[in-house]
């Protein structure tokens, strides 16, 4: 920042007074300037040329007696971890309270997403159970023999592939335990009891 660069002298002095007061209150103030007069007001001057530090000097001893010092950070294992977690929870809580609408919309999105996943899984599980029940009703020993080359085939050369004699022959097989239906159907017309 170049405080007095584009300001009149009165405003520039007022701004520098504010920056000095902030620094006296314990805030770190960094001023980037080309003006030597402004730089001379700082306690430390770092000169940079072509990307290299060419000078680093301090002057004007600072009175640190009025500024409270922070305690040194110590790693005490579990105590440090619990403090860290506690601080994280406090920061999160402050953030939630500070941005209530954003927090509400985020929670609403999460709730809708979880509900969608749970409901789609429930629908899938219900469909699976329904299909398994229908398959279970068929029985695992049922065999259905139909004429033709596949489901719904209407080839003329396969129309009379099964006859009453075929049904009787199937009923006499050793692997047939019983229940051979004596129903013939031709072109969607049934002939029960034939």
For residues 87-115, average pLDDT: 93
Bridge partners of residue 183, in order along the sequence: 192
Radius of gyration of the chain from its Cα atoms, rounded to whole angstroms: 45
Structure tokens at 69: 């010092």
Query: Nearest Cα to 29, choosing from 48, 50, 3?
Result: 3
More confident residue, 73 or 114: 114
Query: What's the chain's length in residues?
Result: 194
Instruction: Take residue 42 and report the two structure tokens written for it.
Output: 């700082």
Residue 68: its pLDDT value, please? 66
User: What is the domain partition of the chain in residue ranges?
Assistant: 9-58, 78-135, 156-192
Structure tokens at 99: 């941005």
Q: Give dist(CA 194, CA 188) in Å, integer.
A: 15
Host H or E run for residue 189: strand 189-192
**For residue 3, what pLDDT is reported?**
47
178 pLDDT more than 90: no
Look over the chain and give the mean of its residue pLDDT values, rounded to a whole number: 77
């Amino acid at each position: 920042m170049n405080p007095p660069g584009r300001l009149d002298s009165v405003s520039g002095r007022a701004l520098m007074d504010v920056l000095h007061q902030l620094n006296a209150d314990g805030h770190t103030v960094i001023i980037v300037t080309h003006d030597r007069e402004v730089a001379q007001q700082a306690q430390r001057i770092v000169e940079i040329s072509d990307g290299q530090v060419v000078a680093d000097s301090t002057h004007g001893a600072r009175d640190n007696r009025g500024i409270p010092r922070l305690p040194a950070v110590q790693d005490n294992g579990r105590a440090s971890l619990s403090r860290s977690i506690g601080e994280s929870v406090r920061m999160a809580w402050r953030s939630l309270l500070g941005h209530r609408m954003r927090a509400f919309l985020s929670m609403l999105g999460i709730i809708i997403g979880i509900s969608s996943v749970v409901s789609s899984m429930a629908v899938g599980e219900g469909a699976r159970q329904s299909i398994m029940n229908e398959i279970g009703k068929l029985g695992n020993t049922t065999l259905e023999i139909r004429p033709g080359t596949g489901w719904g085939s209407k080839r003329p050369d396969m129309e009379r592939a099964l006859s009453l004699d075929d049904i009787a022959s199937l009923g006499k097989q050793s692997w047939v335990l019983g229940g051979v239906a004596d129903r013939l159907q031709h072109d969607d017309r049934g002939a029960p009891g034939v």
